[in-house]
């Protein structure tokens, strides 16, 4: 269940990043469906972490995994696609 919680939280944050108007991975941000999907994945992550731990550790584990995803995706994109290689909008 911990792996499912991590994967769901990272997927949620990836969808949030791709739906952001400041993202640099896609030519256009994804629509509101991505935000709804991100919410569903975040709830799935919370449910998985609470099922494997108790309530408070599950909540804090979910928040930690969501924060990790929020930090790591912009840096991964920066690492694999430096600013000089991007086309201006």
pLDDT in tens, 53-73: 989 999 999 999 999 999 998
**HSE (side-chain half, CA atoms, 13 Å) at 12:** 23
> Mapped to the 3 state alphabet, what secondary structure does 30-48 carry?
CCHHHHHHHHHHHHHHHHH
Tokens of 72: 């790591």
Q: Are 77 and 25 in contact (CB under 8 A)?
A: yes
Predicted TM-score of the model (pTM): 0.86
pLDDT per residue over 3-31, tens digit each? 999 999 999 999 999 999 988 888 899 99
Pick from 38, 58, 44: nearest CA to 4: 44
């Amino acid at each position: 269940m911990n792996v499912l919680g991590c994967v769901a939280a990272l997927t949620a944050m990836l969808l949030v990043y791709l739906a952001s108007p400041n993202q640099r991975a896609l030519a256009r941000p994804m629509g509101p469906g991505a935000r709804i999907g991100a919410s569903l994945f975040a709830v799935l992550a919370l449910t998985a972490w609470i099922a494997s731990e108790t309530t408070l550790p599950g909540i804090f584990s979910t928040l930690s995994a969501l924060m990790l995803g929020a930090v790591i995706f912009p840096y991964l994109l920066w690492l694999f696609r430096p600013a000089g290689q991007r086309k201006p909008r």
